[in-house]
Every structure is written in C-alpha cells, then in structure tokens.
Structure 1
Amino acid sequence: MLNNYFKTQLERLFEPADISINGHRRWDIQIHQPLVFQRVITEGNLGLGEAYMDCWWDCHDLEEFFFRLLSSKVDEQIVTPAMLAGKWIGKTFNLQRPSRAFTVGKHHYDTGNDLFETMLDKRMIYSCGYWKETEDLDEAQEKKLRLVFDKLQLKPGMHILDIGCGWGGAARFAAEEYGVSVTAITVSAEQARFAREQCKGLPVTIEVTDYRAIQDSFDRIYSIGMFEHVGHKNYRNYFRMINRCLKPDGITLLHTIGSNTPCTNGDPWSCKYIFPNSMLPSASQITKNYEGLFTLEDWHVFTYDYSLTLKAWHENFEKQWPKLRTRYNERFQRMWRYYLLSFSGSFRARSIQLWQILLSKNGLPGRTAIPR
C-alpha cells in the first residue's frame, strides 16, 4: 500500500517531463525493484543514483531521461533530509579548508590513470572541449586550449601558473605551442606522476600542492575545471591569491562549471561518489568575490559543448569497458555511466552552465578582440 503511494508520487513528478514508468520509449525507466519508488521520493538524486548503481532500475537513454527531468525542473520539487543537512553543513563548515584540499584528489583523480586514458582525448584534458566546427574530441580539446591561451595573450618567455593542472596536457601544450614556462599544481599524486612524465624536457614544473600555498609571481594565471572544488567560503581568498601572484599587467582566466543560483553545498550523490566537497559557483558569487581585485574583460558561455564532451567520454568509456572490467566491477561501471550521462543531460537542459571568465588586474589597454 505504501509503495503504491510512492509510485503514484513518482509518476506525478515524471508527468511534466513525459517520462513513464515501465514505458517503451528510450527515455522511460524500467523498474526491477519496486522499493525504488520510496528510495527516490525520500532520498532524491542520492537515492535515484544509488538505486541505479544497485541495478534497481534501468533506462535505455539515461542522457535523455535527465535532460527531460531537469528541463521540467522536477529536481526542484524534491527536498530530502540529506539535502537540508548538506545545506546546513555547507553554510556552517569550510569543507574545502586546506586540511581537506587533497580529499578529491585521492577519491576521484587517483582512481586510476588507465580509466582516464581510455576515456579522455590524447592529451587527457578532463574538462569541457570547444566543439566549434569539429566533431572530434581530440580536436575539440585542442580548440579549447588555443581558446584559453589566445585569450590570455601568451607570449614566448612568459611564466604561467596552471592551477589544477590535471595530467599536464594544458601545461605541455602551452610550453610547446606558445614558448612559455609553466608552474602547474595539482592535489592528485597520480596526476602529478603522469604529468611529470608527459612534460619531461619542457620548462614545466609540476607540484602537488594547494593553491593557497603559492607565493611566486606570474605573467598569467589560469584554472581549467578546478574552481568547482574551491568552495563558497574560499572564493574571496582564491581571487586574493590570484591578485597577489599576478604581475601588474597580468591576465587570469577562469574556466568553470557554474550554477544558475547561489549555493553552499554540492549534489549529495556526486559529492558522495564522484567529487567530494564539490560546489558549483553562481555568477553572483564569482563577481562578488573578484570585485575590487580585477576588471572583467569577457564572460564566454558555451554550456552545450560540455554535453557533447561528456557524451564523447561516455562513448569511449563504454567502448573500452572490456579492458577495464578486470580492475573495476559492474557497480563502478553503472556509477560512472550515471555520472557522465546525468551531467550531460544537466548541461543540455542548462540546469548547470559552462563559463570562461577573463579578468585583468588593471584593465586591458585599448580595444581588445577576445577570441571565439
């Protein structure tokens, strides 16, 4: 009787998204365990994601399922104890304080280089590609790197800081293509080991350190896909650090996922299984915290490109799964699939955004054409 109540509630929630339970369209969900209804209604996305990982339900087209769900704002109608607790904890505690800075590195980025090598492009760039006039992942990531470095107006001999360098692909590209020297930092020991090998023989230094420890002076500073781990209590200190380390005529670029509204905590499922302590900044949170330190030069939105990037990663992941299954089990496969396709649907629905923000320390002189 109680389960019928939860099923009716879920059907009512799904109705605006035109999603049916046990329907025949590719975005309809197939139920294998009836307890999933209660789990979703009482636990929201945490319960939905865990139930999928546990094989309680399936969907032929998860990306379309999430696109419809989030386009209809169904997620905004469910408030769970975990969500309320997350908001309180996020407002009360600094989950991204220095002592916790390396948590996401150990949990996510140290998962295994074999996983990321099979999923990502040839340079192992783990952030949104730029799909202008291309349908190829490698090319999309190269176009993104050129976009970033052309916006920064790199010149040979400059000293650059890469905050959150990943596996070193961006730092290597900057050194090889633009003739600059790069100090690149990460919180992942596995990434650092791989990046040092990738950048061997180039003027690139890879350090495992928190951004708050940086003291040197740089001509340009950028971060690509790292700001999501900074946390709202640290945004001002992040920009103060950039301001302190950037030379007077310096420029900085922030490439980040963004939230449509200010928030103080991350999604319970993704924080538990994918990115611990992650938190998406809103536009107002970013502008509020750089004001008085920087001049805004450009705000570039290309959100849909992240949906394309995630679908390309998912395609690579599924294609290479036979090589990975000796190290990772089926539950991991379902978790990773849920992660990639739910995020892809979120970007396509514009539930979350992708921004490149260009800031100068003292204003760019004259008329400047910002690359697109």
Structure 2
Amino acid sequence: METCSGHDWRAESNHSAPPAVLAELASSCGVCFNGDAPWDIRVHDEDVYRLILTRGPLGFGEAYMDGLWDCARLDELFHRLLKHRIDERLGGWNRLRLLGEMLRHRLFNLQSPRRAFQVGIEHYDIGNDVFAAMLDPTMSYSCAYWQDAADLATAQRAKLDLVCRKLELKAGERVLEIGCGWGGFAHYAATHYGVEVFGITVSKEQQRLAAERCAGLPVNIALLDYRQVTGQFDKIVSIGMFEHVGPKNYPAYFEVARRALAPEGLFLLHTIGIDHTTPHTDPWIDKYIFPNGKLPSAAEIARAIDGRFVLEDWHNFGPDYDRTLMAWWENFDRAWPMLAPKYGERFRRMWRYYLMSCAGFFRSRQGQLWQLVLSRPERSGDYRSIR
C-alpha cells in the first residue's frame, strides 16, 4: 500500500499504484499520484508510468499533451518538482538518454548559422494571433518588470522604460536590437526617446508585423542572424534572444556585439539564466517549444565577456518572470475559445504545460532573469546603475 497526503491507493478502483520508485520520488517533493492536493498528478492512463521511466521529462510532457494525466495547478506541481531537483534525480533512471542529450550538445553546434532560423519557423512563426492574444499591447515576449506595476501592460512598459534608462538613450542615437521580436522595444524607444533602431530577427512573421507596427518611425527591421550584423551603433540591446545563442557561440556573439558597439556605447543584455551550469536542456522544451535553445549560467556569461566587456551592472529580477508567465496564461486561456478552432486541444495542453512549467521553474529559483549592462574597456566616465 502506498499512501500520500492521507491518500490510500486501495480506494482507487480504476488505478493501480505507481512503481515504488516514482511514488517515492514524487512523495519526496510533496507530490502524490492521484492525491487530493491541487498540485497532485491525476492519472487517466497507467501508461504514464512507463513513459516517465523510459523517456523522463519528454515522456512526462508528451503524456500530458495526450491527456494521459492532469493537474489542477501545474505551476505548483513544477515548483515542487524543480525545487527538489527532480529533473536531476529522475535522470539517473534514464542515463543512456541523458548521455545522448549531453553528447548532442557537446559534439554539435545546435545554434550554427545554418540552424539559426529553425526556432523562428517552429516557434515564433506559429501564428501571430496566438502571441497577440497572450501578450500585452506592446507584444513583449519577455519578462515584465513588476516593481511598481499591478497589471501586465504596465509592467511591460516599465520594463521597456527601464531598459531605455539603463542604456542612457539620447535622441538621435543609433541602436542595434539583436532579437527584436514584434517591435515592442523599437517602437517604444523610437517614440519616447527619439532614437533610430535597427532590429534583427530570425522570424519572418515577427519581421512582417514589427515593420507594420513601426511604420513611420525611424525603425528598420531585418530578417538576419546576429553573425551577419555589420556597422557600428551607439547602443545595443538584446531582450530575450540570448537563450537561442548556445555556449559554443557565446564568444562569437559577444565579439559581434563588441565590434558593433561604439567605444563610448552601452550594451544591455536581458536574458533568462539558470542557477548552475548544465550540459543539456530540457528535452520537452527543446522538442516542442524552443528547438536548439540553451539557458546560460552566470559562469558561462562571465567567461564569455572576459576581456571583451566591462560589466557595469548585473540585475536579477527572476521572480517577476513567474508573475509574467501566469499573466500570459490568463490571457491565453481567456482567448482560447477564439483560437480553439485553428489550433486544437493538444496545442492548448502543450501551451499550458509550457507556460506553467516555466512559471514553476522560476518559482523554484532554478530560473533567473538577468539584465546586464556592458561597456567596452575604453569607455570613459562612470556608469550609475538604475532600478
């Protein structure tokens, strides 16, 4: 007999107990199979156990997409699992698959120029209607800044203004935006700070919509890989793009930025980070959400900027991403009746799993959100950080 939170498996006539190893791992995280807590896993098909044991996180996520299990509070489920490092502990039962994933990242450049546009095609081009429904009016697909905000739209505008102030933007300056999304920053900076923005993206849909939204402003949006950038700019900004660069390309990325930045300029890097260096990425996220993505650790960034930039400021507001993701889900869920005929139930479950697992990732403190302000060594004068 396995019990969890007072739950007796003998009372479940339709389900046998999970394998002892899974029950014990879940229980150590305060989670139960078919328990009564909102973060417990409600099993509809016992094939879930086999999928977890043989395919790890990938099997767990695919089983959810296929409706084999449910959970009322997926965000809290992942908070508990990740806080107790279940991803690492479960990896021991899938050593061969884990080794294969590690070797794939080590032996191949998953973010090479040839593969750079894959994430644009498979994620950012899925449909602007999804992102327009989920995001705020600026269509900012990155962490908002909630310090003095009560709603998503205010928090995203606060983030954009924070970035502009950290960069010390002045009218007439030329700004390079590496990974411009749907033009939210470019539109804001050009409108409120009078700068000229050259934004690049690997997504055709982002390029098209960003150009439309920024029409009439001194903004140029190009479909371009960062390694193709030429020229020099007064300021550089990159918001939520560095997660697609990959460790093998960090030196090249920062070398491109160093060459493109004027000697007296500033470079703001806004990126998700992870609390420790990892040799691989989550296989479910890699397959279904961000192909070839890789979260950097602080150590990896520090090594890559060493000798290239002076670190002026490093600001961490990771908890704000938890709140941002939950707001995105509320928007998406509210808009789902309009989206459902086009995308279908499996997509809805995939998107919920994505947003809720990421919220739990940040809530567990494995996930961080960093804004770094960098300058070239020859820059003169002092820099004063802004919060």
- For normalisation by structure 2, the TM-score amounts to 0.93
Aligned mates of 2:16, 2:151 — CA distance in 1: 47
Instruction: Tell me the distance in 2 between the aligned counterparts of 1:303 and 1:82.
Output: 30
| Other structure's SS at 1:212 match | helix
- Sort the Cα spacing of 1:363 and 1:10 in 2 relative to 1 into closer, same or farther, 3 A: farther
On the 8 A contact 1:217/1:245 being kept in 2, the answer is yes
Say whether the 8 Å CA contact 1:232–1:264 is kept in structure 2.
Answer: no
Q: Find the counterpart in structure 1 of residue 184 from structure 2.
A: 169
Deviation at 1:334, TM superposition (A): 0.2
Between the aligned partners of 1:313 and 1:363, the Cα distance in structure 2 is: 41
Question: Are positions 1:139 and 2:154 aligned together?
Answer: yes
* 1:338 matched residue in structure 2: 353
CA distance in 1, matches of 2:378, 2:315: 18
Matched, 1:297 2:312: yes
CA contact (8 A) 2:105 2:279 kept: yes
1:43 to 26, 48, 55: 55
Larger mean CA deviation between 77-86 and 342-351 belongs to 77-86
Of 55, 58, 64, which residue of structure 2 is paired with 1:52? 64
Structure 1 segments unaligned to the other structure (5+ residues): none
SS at match of 1:369: coil
CA RMSD of aligned residues (A): 1.3
Distance 1:288 1:5 in 2: 48
Asked if 2 retains the 8 angstrom alpha-carbon contact of 1:185 and 1:211, the reply is yes
Partner of 2:264: 249
Q: Is the 8 A contact 1:52 1:58 kept in 2?
A: yes
Contact map agreement 2:179 2:199 (CA 8 A) in 1: yes
In the alignment, which residue of structure 2 is the partner of 1:157?
A: 172
CA distance in 1, matches of 2:374, 2:101: 32
Equivalent position SS for 2:273: strand
Aligned position for 2:87: 75
Partner of 1:326: 341
1:183 Cα deviation (Å)? 0.2
For 1:271-286, list aligned pairs within 5 A.
Answer: 271-286=286-301
The letter of the residue matching 1:300 is H
CA distance in 2: counterparts of 1:17 and 1:337, whole angstroms: 21
Instruction: Find the partner of 1:63 among 75, 99, 118.
Output: 75
Shift of 1:6: 5.5
From 23, 33, 41, the equivalent of 2:35 is 23
When residues 319 and 363 of structure 1 are mapped into structure 2, their CA distance, relative to the original with a 3 A threshold, is farther
Alignment partner of 1:254: what SS?
strand
Q: TM-score if structure 1 supplies the norm length?
A: 0.97
Post-superposition CA distance 1:194-245 (Å, at most 9, x none): 0000000000000001000001110000100000000110000000000111
Match of 2:203 among 184, 188, 201: 188
| Residue aligning to 1:109 | 124
Q: Deviations over 1:52-75 (max 9, x none)?
A: 001010000000110011111122
- Give the match for residue 11 of structure 2: none
Between the aligned partners of 2:21 and 2:379, the Cα distance in structure 1 is 55
2:229 corresponds in structure 1 to: 214
Aligned partners of 2:179, 2:279: CA distance in 1, in Å?
A: 21
Give distance in 2, aligned partners of 1:355 and 1:237. Answer: 20
SS of 2:136's partner is: coil
Query: Residue 10 of structure 1: which of 22, 28, 31 is its match?
Result: 22
Question: Distance between the aligned counterparts of 2:373 and 2:56, measured in 1?
Answer: 36
What are the residue-to-residue correspondences of 1:218-233 with 2, within 5 Å? 218-233=233-248
Report if the CA contact (8 A) 2:263-2:379 is conserved.
Answer: no
Partner SS for 2:341: coil
Q: Is the 8 A contact 1:186 1:210 kept in 2?
A: yes
